[in-house]
Amino acid sequence: MAETTGGARLGPVRTLRVKMVLLGSSGVGKSSLALRFSRDQFRNTSPTVGCAYLTRVLHLGDVTFRLEIWDTAGQEKYHSVTPLYYRAAHAALVVYDICKRETFLRARLWIRELQKHYVPGSTVLWLVGNKADLDQDRQVSAQEGQNVAEEDGLSFTETSALSGDQINQLLLDVVHRVHECVGGQQEVLSLWQEVPLVDPKHGSSFNRFSSCCRAGP
């Protein structure tokens, strides 16, 4: 799905890869957010096993960004392998469920872990309170989320994967911030070219831009 931020687009002169990873506890809606980001669809999903991989194309002026969205598993048993997926990420979204305070507390632990591994200025960090459509059941106020984000140097947004509220705006804001922070560093945002991969077992080509569990940038 291609999108422009406004105005007539004469055509992108280059396409840049942006790796964005979703982190957080199981059940907070990471997979639903990823599906909204990628296809603007919602459906109930099963817990992610390992990692799922989707893409989205956005246009900012004369630059096209191909977002590679990594939806990580939130179960504790996958925690040790999660760093394989957020390594070299340009943006990391730490997601919690506004109706479950324990997921908010867990999000703070994810933030601490990310801060140990990322290089300031090379990764955009965002705290996302999901399930805003269930405001009547909330256990974490928007102000509390905002305060934690400011304290830890993150941006903050509340979203609803169910209704789609703030989804597109969040995605555009993330891409803008990535472009501002690292867009001028050619070694950070690489040009993207789609190259068919060959399945070594069957000798046939396949497209890796779909749901998968491949590790690495």
* Structure tokens, 88: 């070299």
5 assigned to some structural domain? no
What are the tokens at 125? Answer: 């960090």
Q: How far apart are CA 61 and CA 6, in angstroms?
A: 8
In a domain, 4, yes or no: no
Tokens 């997601």 found at: 95
Per DSSP, the three-state class of 125 is strand
The answer to whether residue 189 sits within a structural domain is yes
Nearest-angstrom CA–CA distance, 165 and 160: 5
Position 213 in a domain: no
Residue ranges making up the domain that contains 52? 14-206
In a domain, 28, yes or no: yes
**Torsion, Cα of 111, 214, 16, 74 (10° steps):** -20
In a domain, 217, yes or no: no
**Total-model pTM:** 0.75
Domain count, the chain: 1
Show pLDDT as tens, one digit a residue, over the chain (217 residues): 444 444 444 544 578 889 999 999 988 999 899 989 988 887 766 554 456 778 899 888 788 889 999 888 644 444 554 566 677 889 999 999 999 999 999 999 889 888 887 766 678 999 999 999 999 999 999 999 999 999 999 999 999 999 999 999 999 999 989 988 765 554 445 554 444 434 434 443 333 333 333 333 3
Q: Express as a percent the part of the chain with pLDDT over 70.
A: 66
**φ/ψ (deg, to 5) at 121:** 95, -10
Amino acid at 123: T
Q: Which pLDDT value is given to residue 185?
A: 55
28: DSSP letter: S
CA 90 – CA 196 distance, rounded (Å): 24
Q: What is the pLDDT of residues 179-213, one digit of tens each?
A: 887 655 544 455 544 444 344 344 433 333 333 33
Q: Which among 103, 113, 188, 165 is positioned nearest to 137, based on CA atoms?
A: 103
Does a structural domain hold residue 9?
no
Model pLDDT, residue 106: 92
pLDDT at residue 202 in the model: 41
Q: Is residue 46 part of a domain?
A: yes
Beta bridge partners of 92: 21, 125
CA distance 157 to 145: 8
At 81 the pLDDT is 47
Query: What count of other Cβ atoms lies within 10 Å of the Cβ of residue 45?
Result: 15
The amino acid present at 5, given as its one-letter code, is T
CB neighbours (10 Å) of residue 150?
12
Indicate which CATH number applies to the domain containing 90: 3.40.50.300
